[in-house]
């Protein structure tokens, strides 16, 4: 399963008639250029889990920053690394990160 599909399925699994009214996900573009997204993990199985801000460089001129404060998972990346950034979220949820 692709990391993008994982994020879709994870989000759908959280939607219980209440969670989605207060929590969710945002994705935006950056002007340097790139992507940034935040995914609420509050009131999910990952609630409270933290991740110190870390840089991953999957290739030349490619970068991914990821972090989690226990309530929101965030990532920012270059234009070509969105799938890899979603894979970081997947690894975080699956406790392999």
Per-residue model confidence as pLDDT tens digits over 1-47: 899 999 999 999 999 999 999 999 999 999 999 999 999 999 999 99
> Between vectors from CA 26 to CA 48 and to CA 20, what angle results, nearest 5°?
65
Per-residue pLDDT tens over the stretch 68-97: 999 999 999 999 999 999 999 999 999 986
User: Structural domain tally of the chain?
Assistant: 1
What is residue 97's predicted lDDT score, i.e. its pLDDT? 66
Residue (of 61, 69, 72) closest to 34 by Cα position:
61
| pTM for the predicted model, two decimal places | 0.95
The span from the first CA to the last CA of the chain, in angstroms, equals: 18
- Which domain does 46 fall in, by range? 3-93
Q: What is the pLDDT of residues 42-55, one digit of tens each?
A: 999 999 999 999 99
Q: How many angstroms separate the CA atoms of 23 and 39, rounded?
A: 8
Average pLDDT, the chain: 96
Look-up: residue for tokens 């997947």?
A: 90
């Amino acid at each position: 399963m692709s990391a993008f599909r994982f994020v879709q399925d994870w989000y759908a699994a959280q939607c219980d008639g209440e969670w989605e009214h207060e929590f969710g996900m945002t994705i935006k573009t950056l002007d340097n250029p790139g992507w940034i997204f935040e995914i609420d993990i509050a009131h999910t199985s990952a609630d409270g889990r933290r991740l110190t801000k870390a840089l991953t460089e999957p290739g030349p001129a490619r970068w991914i920053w990821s972090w989690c404060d226990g309530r929101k998972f965030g990532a920012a990346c270059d234009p070509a690394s969105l799938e890899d950034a979603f894979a970081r979220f997947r690894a975080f949820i699956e406790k392999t990160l």
